[in-house]
Chain A
Amino acid sequence: THPLKFQASPATSESLTPEQKVLSHNNFYEFGTNKSDPSENAQQFKVKPWQLKVSGEVEQEITLDYDDLLKRFSLEERIYRLRCVEAWSMVIPWIGFPLAQLIKQAKPLAKAKYVAFETLYDPQQMPGQNSRRIGGGIDYPYVEGLRLDEAMHPLTLLSVGLYGKTLPPQNGAPIRLVVPWKYGFKSIKSIVSIRLVEKMPPTTWNLLAPNEYGFYANVNPEVDHPRWSQASERRITTGGLFARNRIETLPFNGYGEQVAELYKNMDLRQYY
């Protein structure tokens, strides 16, 4: 990782999750299923050269190389809460640019209704991709998706860094999605493809267990995961075992004012 130039975020009253914890507590099954596996196994991961392709129902296909990711758009810092579906959360200072800026440059066609994302598929570098034991038995490459209006929302970020530096491999280098009002698994890492499509695209965790993980995956304290409650969460900050870190989970992870409008006529129990 190396330092980035960016516009700093205004101060926040929320205490940030320490950098060391953001870097060592990751769900990135391509590098192993234990939280500490990615930071241990991903250090040799090569981000140069990189290609991110924007394609599908667009007027203008775009291919970004590694330098484009960092230089084509002006970078800004966004301090977001990250709520994992496993009921823990962090507060992370991301650096990136709104996904909307990239999609606008590609000029979506009227047919485009959804956006499909794909993680790099490279079993040589990502040992979980060809080993059920390491990769936890999910299908690779990891795929995710958003509705086009969700993708165009100003909160939706393509992140290339955190804590002032480029992304470490375990956090999804060189570029990842951050959708702060959805469970963390929507925020796909190490993206190589962004495709605008007509139909709702398949998504990895939904394919694996559709009754547990929906396409929308909006943070919702009212809709429990079938195996655990989503009403509250443990915020990972400083402090050991005795840290009193259980807090109430907020609808849309506290971003309801900005995003609830997107779902105004939807039954969120059905579309979880």
Chain B
Amino acid sequence: MINKKSMKVILLKSVIHLVSLSLLVNVYYLAINDQLGADPVEAVLHFTGIGAFNLLLLSLLVTPIVKYCQWRIFMQVRRLLGLYSFTYALCHVLSFLAFEVQFDWPLFIEEIYQRPYVTIGMAAFVILLTLAVTSISAMKKQLGRKWQLLHNWVYLALLLVAIHFYWSVKSEIIEPSIYIILALGLLWFRKDKFTRWLANKHRANNH
């Protein structure tokens, strides 16, 4: 029999699935039918990009919420939020390839290595891809202690995504600046973790 707590988890997960998927389906439906403004390509890129960033921020908000508000239930949806962030990022990258550069592979490669803001965006995507693949329970078991070390790379991904956004705009920097502050705020919650890590590194170097 399903108890009350797991009912809540199922409900929460259903809401996340419903919202994330329906927004995504809706935006592609409108874009394909040319109902998303004059330039549906730009609109899709913006939507999936900012969506991936929002979901990444939400996934990183889980730990502070659990720690300070004792809402342990959110721990059960951290992986789901992370996976949806990856899904949006995947849509972002694939849409760039398919609709922006339209499978002009030389141009695609050139943009990745020549444009710093694309380079770091792609670096962040590679991190998210790695984390998504290793988020499977079996992988988590297999990696053991290394799993947490690997998944700490999400903090780097967060910073890269924030810079990618800031760097991509022409002059309207207020929104990306707010996102940078939010990202730094979430990293601030982990300051003990970073100081521990630095101390360990320091000790390792001295031996």
Contacts and interface: CB of A to CB of B under 8 A. Distances in A.
Contacts of B40: 240-241
Contacts of A239: 34
Interface string A219-247: 00000100111011010101111111110
Interface in B95-114: 99-102, 104, 107, 110-111, 114
Contacts of A63: none
A24 interface: yes
B107 A232 contact: yes
A25 interface: yes
Interface stretch (A1-9, A132-140, A174-182): A132-140
Given A25-B39, A241-B40, A246-B101, A136 B171 contact: yes
Given A35-B38, A227-B117, A246-B101, A136 B32 contact: no
Contacts of A24: 37-38
Contacts of A232: 104, 107
Contacts of B102: 244-246
B32 A137 contact: no
A33 interface: yes
Secondary structure dominating the interface of A: loop
A46 interface: no
A240 B39 contact: no
B interface secondary structure, majority: helix
Nearest to B99: A241
Interface in A249-266: none
B136 to A, nearest CB: 31
A88 interface: yes
A21 interface: yes
A82 to B, nearest CB: 12
Contacts of A20: 38
A41 interface: no
A33 B37 contact: no
Interface residues on B, range: 20 to 34
A200 interface: no
Interface string A1-39: 000000000000000010011101100010001011000
Contact of A229 (B37, B41, B110): B110
B39 A228 contact: no
A208 B176 CA distance: 18
Contacts of B34: 238-241, 243
Which 6 pairs across A and B sit closest by C-beta, in order of nearness? Answer: A25-B38, A21-B38, A240-B34, A136-B172, A241-B31, A33-B172
6 contacts: A136-B172, A137-B174, A232-B104, A238-B34, A240-B32, A241-B34
Interface of A: 17, 20-22, 24-25, 29, 33, 35-36, 86, 88, 132-133, 136-138, 208-209, 224, 227-229, 231-232, 234, 236, 238-246
Given A17-B38, A35-B37, A231-B107, 20 more contacts: A29-B171, A33-B172, A136-B171, A137-B174, A227-B115, A227-B117, A227-B168, A229-B107, A229-B110, A229-B115, A234-B100, A236-B38, A240-B31, A240-B32, A240-B33, A240-B35, A240-B40, A241-B32, A241-B34, A241-B41
Interface of B: 28, 31-42, 44, 99-102, 104, 107, 110-111, 114-117, 167-168, 170-174
